[in-house]
């Protein structure tokens, strides 16, 4: 059985989302955005990276549909729009760690 074009589009979207999550700093940024909206300057200082690097990460997360931005005058604030993605990551992390312990006979 082959993938339908609708299934292919859905799986491509999922792969794109996971690709955006494939960097530790982007996950850290998402955790910060779970707390509250941030402008790029504040967020860059908070996570300890250059503003241009933060902007690049934010654009990748936005392009994947995980965050959104809102302009307030000259300020642009970013916010998490898909908080469940962090719950998914935490769930998967716990399962992977349990599996590793079991494989090593540490359970």
| Residue 105 reports pLDDT greater than 90 | no
In which residue are the tokens 């307030």 written?
72
As beta bridge partners, residue 80 has 67
Q: Under CATH, to which class is 5-82 assigned?
A: mainly alpha
In the chain, where are the structural domains located?
Answer: 5-82
| Residue 107 reports pLDDT greater than 80 | no
Confidence of residue 102 (pLDDT cuts 50, 70, 90): confident
pLDDT in tens, 70-84: 998 899 999 999 999
pTM above 0.95, yes or no: no
Q: What is the pLDDT of residue 21?
A: 94
Q: How far apart are CA 44 and CA 48, in angstroms?
A: 6
């Amino acid at each position: 059985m082959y993938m339908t074009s609708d299934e292919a589009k859905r799986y491509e979207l999922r792969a794109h989302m996971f690709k955006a999550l494939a960097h530790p700093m982007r996950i850290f940024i998402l955790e910060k955005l779970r707390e509250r909206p941030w402008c790029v300057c504040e967020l860059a200082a908070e996570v300890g990276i250059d503003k241009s690097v933060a902007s690049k990460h934010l654009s990748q997360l936005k392009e994947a549909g995980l965050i959104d931005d809102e302009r307030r005058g000259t300020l642009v604030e970013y916010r998490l729009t898909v908080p469940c993605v962090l719950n998914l990551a935490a769930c998967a992390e716990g399962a992977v760690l349990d599996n590793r312990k079991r494989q090593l006979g540490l359970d």
